[in-house]
Amino acid sequence: MNIKKGLGLIAVLYFTSSFQAQIKSDSSAIKEKKIDEVVLIGYGSVKKKNATSAIENIKADVFEDRPIYNVTQALQGTAAGVNVVQNSGKPGQALNIKIRGNNSISSGVNPLYVVDGIQTNDITGVNPDDIVDMTILKDATSAAIYGINGSAGVVIITTKRGKANKPQLNFNTYWGISKIVNNVDVLNIDQYKSLMADINANGGNDYLSTVNDPRYAGISTDWKKEVYRTGVDQNYNVNYSFGNENTKAYTALGYQGIDGIVAPSRFDRMSAKVNLDSKITNWLKINASLNYMHTKQNNTADNRQGARGGVILAALTTPTFMPAYGDQINFVPGDQVVYNNDGTIKDGYKPGQFAPNPFTAGWENPVSFQYRDLENTITHRFLSNLGFEVNLLKNLVYKPSVSFDYIDSEYNFFRDSYRSSDGRTNHGFGQQDTNKYQDLNIENTLNYTLKTGAHDLGLLGGFQIHERNTKLDSYWGQGFAEDVREFNYDLASGNKTPTFREEVLKELSYFGRAVYTYDNKYTVMGVFRYNGSSALAPGKKWGFFPGVSASWNISNEDFLKDNSTISELKIRGGWGKTGNASGIPPYSHFILHRLTNNGPDGTYKFYQWGSDIGWEVTTDTNFGVDLAFVKNRIKLTADFYKRTTDDLIMPIEMGTAVGNILRNVGSMENKGVEFTLNTVNVKNDNFNWNTNFNISFNKSKINALYYMPIKDEVPIEGIGNKIVRFTKGQPLSAFYGYKMIGVNPQDGKIMYADLNGDGEITDSGDRTFIGNPNPDFTFGFTNNFTYKNWYLDTLITGSVGNDIYNASRFELELMNDFKNQSTVVLNRWTTPGQITNVPKAGSTDVDKISDRFVEDGSYIKLKSITLGYNFQNPFKGVSKLNVYVTGQNLYTITDYTGFDPEVNAFAGTNGVLGIDYGTYPQVKTFVVGLKANF
C-alpha cells in the first residue's frame, strides 16, 4: 500500500468521522474546566494559559497500557517535534530521541531528563509505572535555565506521590509474547547450488564441490528456526501510597523481564522507589525521593557483518547444508579433514564444538555467534534527592536541594578456548570492566511571587554546583583452560592487561527567571544561565545563555471574551540561547600523544596538543499559536522555529601518529513547523471519543565546517569508502556514493554514472550525494474510545521522506562468494540481452557504496492497540479491576525491504542516522494485562 494513500485514508477517517461526531454530540454535556492547569517550566510552573514557550505535557494515561521497557518509548507518536526511533528490537536497547532534530554532531544530542528534580541524561531503569506525567521543554526560552544540556531539549518527569488520608494499594501486571515482525527470504538449497554454479561459470571459485561433499549429505539446516524463538515479556508492579495532612509517602516495587526473540538476549529490571513529603512546621517542608534500580542485559551480537559474529546477518547468509555443531556432519572413516593421524577427532568436530565453516576457518555459523560468548552488563543504580522548602517571608520561598546519582556497572565478556574456532585460535579470552559513576548536584533557589490586582509577578534566582566522578577498572586476559566458561582474570595464563582510569568534571552555574503577567492577557518571561565547565579550555569555560519570550492571550480581550466559537486564542514568541558541552570528555583541552620510532635509537618523542575548545551555542527562535474552539473541544497548536548551532564541537583528524583533537569547527541549523490537534469528538454519559494528531516538519543543514570541510563516517568492512558524509550545505548524515544507472544487458555488469565525463569511474570524480536519512515529516495519531466500562486505545506513528541505507544487502545481494543470498538474486542477469537491475553472479564492481542500496524508509505503523474493561468493586476489598489486551507493532505500511524501517544500526556514531546493517529485528508483541486497585 502506498504511503500517501495510507496517509490519505487516515485523514479521511479522522476529519470526516470525528467532526461529524462532534456536530451530532450533545454539546450540553460539555463543561469547561474551572481549574487553571499548570505546566512545569524548570524550577517552577506557570499557568498553561499564560505559557510563553513551546511546551508539551504528556499524561501517563496516554501510555500506561502499552508494554514499554523504556520511558522514552512513551513519547513515541505522542508529542509534536519529538522523534523517537527504536533503533532495534533488542530487549533493553536504548532508544534514539531527538527534540526538533539533531542540533549537534559530536557533542551530546540527547535531551536532559529531570526526574523529580534530579537531572540526568540516563533514565534506563526508571519504571514507567511510577510516572504521572512528562513535560517537554522544546525551545530555548524554557530550556535555557537548565544550562549545559538545554540545547537538546528537556524532559521533566513527575512521579507518583502520596495523598493525605487516601491510602491506596495498586497491583499491575502483564504477560506477553513476541514474534519477529518480518522475514527476509533467502535461497533454498537448489537455488543456492544454481547460484554457486553461476559464480564458478563466471570465473569465480568452485564452491559447488564443497556443497556436494559427502560429509554434508542430507543436512538441511533452517537457520531462522535455529536462531529465532518466541520472546516472552513479563511485568509486575505493586505500589502503596498513604499519608496524613503533614506526611505523605509513595512506595513502589517493580520487576520486568524480557526474553528476546534471539537467544541469549534478555533484559531484567528490578526497581524500588520511595517518595516522601513532610510538613515539619508552617514554614518548613521536606521532600525526598529515593530510587534503586537493578538491570541486567544479556547481549546478542547484531549490527555486525556475518563473518564478524553478527547473528542476524549470519542467520540469513549461512548456507543451509552446514550443521550447527561439528559432530552433526557425516563421519567418514579415514577423512583427513576430520581425523588426526592417530584416529582422534580434530578440533571443530568434537562434541559441543561449533561446526567449522568449510569455506573459511574464521566464520562458523549463527548458532556459534549466539552461544560462543558470555556477554552481559549488570548495573546497580541509586538515584536520590533531598529538598527543603523554607518560607522565609510572605511569598518568599527558599529551596535548597541535593541530589546524588550513583551507578555501579559491570560488563562481562568471555569466549572460551574449546567451543569456537576463534576461541581455540586465541586460547580463550575475556574482559571485565567495572564502571563507577557518581554525580553530585547541589542547587539553591529563591522564589518570590507577587499578585496584586491585574499584576502577577514571579522571580527566581539560584545557583548550582555539579560534580561528576567516573572510575574505570578494566581487566583483559587470554589463555584459559578448555573447561573455563566464565572470565576469571587470575586464571588467564597468557596476555593480561589491567587498565585504570579516573575522571572528574566540575560545573558551576548561576541562573534566574522573571515572569510577569498583566490582566491574564499579556505575559513576558526572561531567563538566563551563566554556566562554567571544567572540560573546556581556559578563557572559554564560561558561557552566558539568555532567553526572552512573550505571549498575548487574545481570547481574554473584551472583543473575544464571550465568543461562543473561539474559546482560546493565544500567540507566543521567543528567542534564546543554550550551551552544550555534554558530549566531550572531562579533559578535552588536554591532549597528549606519543610519536613512535622518532629516532634511530628507538626513542620516543612526545607532542602535546592543547585544544582551545569552547561552548557549542544554539540560538533558538520560536513563534507559536494556540487556538481552541467550541469550549475547548477542538484545540490546535502550531509552532514555527529555527535553531542555529554555532561553534560545533568535532574531532579534527591529525593522522595516526597524533590522533584527533576536539575543536569548535562549524555551524548547523534546524528549522521546522509543528502542529498538534486535540479533539473531543464525542462526549456523553455512555460513549466518549478523544483524538490527538501531531505532525512535525524539520529540515537540517550543515552551514559550515572549518579545518576539516569533509567528515566521512561508517565504513563497511571489506567494501571501501564510507557511507555518510558531513559537509557544508548538506543535511545531517547525508549518504554519499555512486549512482547506479543499471545493468548492462550484454555482459551483466553494473553501470555507474560517469558524473565528470572523463570516461572512467573513480572515487574522486564520480561520487555524489545519494540519499537523505532525515524525514520530511513525522507524525503520531492516537484515538481513545470509551463505552460504559469498555475502552479502546490506538496509536499510529509514521515517518515520511527519509531514506535508509540498507547495508545488509551487501551480504545478501553481491553474489561474489559462498554466502547464501536473498531471493532478489533470482532475478540476476544470466543471458545477453536480458533486462534486469540485478547483475550477474560473480560480477566485479558490485561492492561500491551506491544508491543501489538506498531505499525509501517511509512508513505508517500501527504501533499499539489496546482493548480493556474496567470492573467497579468486583470483589470485597477491590475497588477497581482492569483487564486488557494489547498488540504492539502490529502492522507496517512501507516499501522498505529490510526487517523494519524503524532502524538505526549506528546510533552510537555521532550524528549518523538511517543505516541498517544486520540489525536485531523489531518484534510484534501481544500482551494480556491486569490492574487492581485495593
Q: Confidence band (pLDDT; 50, 70, 90) for 114?
A: very high
Give the helix ranges, DSSP H, for 318-390. 366-371
Single-letter code of the amino acid located at 671: K
Range scoring the smallest mean pLDDT among 14-18, 217-221, 860-864: 14-18
**pLDDT score at 128:** 87
**pLDDT score at 659:** 65
**pLDDT score at 2:** 63
Q: Is the pLDDT of residue 92 over 60?
A: yes
Q: Confidence band (pLDDT; 50, 70, 90) for 707?
A: confident
C-alpha dist (Å) from residue 325 to 59, 299, 416, 419, 805: 52, 22, 16, 9, 34
Q: Is the pLDDT of residue 191 over 80?
A: yes
| Contacts (Cβ under 8 Å, ≥6 apart) of 695 | 80, 674, 675, 777, 778, 779
**pLDDT score at 387:** 95
Q: Is the pLDDT of residue 5 over 60?
A: no
What pLDDT digit, counting tens, does each position of 866-896 carry? 999 999 988 888 899 999 999 999 999 999 9
Rounded Cα distance between 449 and 835, Å, is 77
**pLDDT score at 7:** 61
Rounded Cα distance between 254 and 294, Å, is 10
Q: b/e per residue, 29-39, with b = 16+ CB within 10 A?
A: eeeeeeeeeeb
Bigger pLDDT: 145 or 186?
186
Q: Which three cell numbers stand for residue 223?
A: 537457520
Q: Is the pLDDT of residue 19 over 90?
A: no
Q: What pTM did the predictor assign? A: 0.91
Bigger pLDDT: 12 or 795?
795
Three-state DSSP at 269 gives strand
Q: Is the pLDDT of residue 608 over 80?
A: no
Report percent pLDDT > 70 for the chain: 93
Rounded Cα distance between 696 and 675, Å, is 6
Bigger pLDDT: 147 or 620?
620
Bigger pLDDT: 427 or 94?
427
Q: Confidence band (pLDDT; 50, 70, 90) for 596?
A: very low
What pLDDT digit, counting tens, does each position of 269-294 carry? 999 999 999 999 999 999 999 999 99
3-state percent helix, strand, coil for the chain, nearest multiple of 5: 15, 50, 35
Q: Confidence band (pLDDT; 50, 70, 90) for 165?
A: confident
Q: b/e per residue, 722-739, with b = 16+ CB within 10 A?
A: bbbbbbeebbbbbbbbbb
Q: Is the pLDDT of residue 192 over 80?
A: yes
**pLDDT score at 913:** 92
Q: Is the pLDDT of residue 595 over 50?
A: no
Q: Which residues are paired to 735 by β-bridges?
A: 724, 771
Range scoring the smallest mean pLDDT among 40-49, 461-470, 476-485: 40-49
Q: Which residues are paired to 606 by β-bridges?
A: 594
Q: Confidence band (pLDDT; 50, 70, 90) for 444?
A: very high
**pLDDT score at 32:** 43
Rounded Cα distance between 413 and 415, Å, is 7
Q: Is the pLDDT of residue 41 over 80?
A: yes
**pLDDT score at 609:** 55
| Region label for 602, one of left (φ > 0), alpha (ψ between -120 and 50) or beta (otherwise) | left
**pLDDT score at 829:** 95
Q: Is the pLDDT of residue 502 over 50?
A: yes
Strands 112-115 vs 154-159: parallel, antiparallel or unpaired: parallel
Does the CA dihedral 677-678-681-687 come out positive or negative? positive
Strands 687-705 vs 923-933: parallel, antiparallel or unpaired: unpaired
Q: Is the pLDDT of residue 791 over 90?
A: yes
What pLDDT digit, counting tens, does each position of 375-407 carry? 999 999 999 999 999 999 999 999 999 999 999
What distance, in Å, lies between the first and last C-alpha atoms of the chain? 47
| Contacts (Cβ under 8 Å, ≥6 apart) of 678 | 634, 635, 690, 691, 692
**pLDDT score at 730:** 95
Q: Is the pLDDT of residue 12 over 80?
A: no
Q: Is the pLDDT of residue 106 over 90?
A: no
Rounded Cα distance between 766 and 184, Å, is 32
**pLDDT score at 560:** 86
Q: Is the pLDDT of residue 600 over 80?
A: no
694 near 782, Cβ under 8 Å? no
C-alpha dist (Å) from residue 172 to 59, 191, 483, 932, 933: 18, 51, 44, 6, 9
What pLDDT digit, counting tens, does each position of 348-378 carry? 999 999 999 999 877 899 999 999 999 999 9
Q: Which three cell numbers stand for residue 278?
A: 513532610
Average pLDDT estimate for 216-244: 94
Mean pLDDT, the chain, as a whole number?
A: 89
Q: Confidence band (pLDDT; 50, 70, 90) for 10?
A: low
Q: Which residues are paired to 233 by β-bridges?
A: 176, 258
Q: Confidence band (pLDDT; 50, 70, 90) for 105?
A: confident
Q: Which three cell numbers stand for residue 219?
A: 543436512
Q: Confidence band (pLDDT; 50, 70, 90) for 147?
A: confident
**pLDDT score at 584:** 79
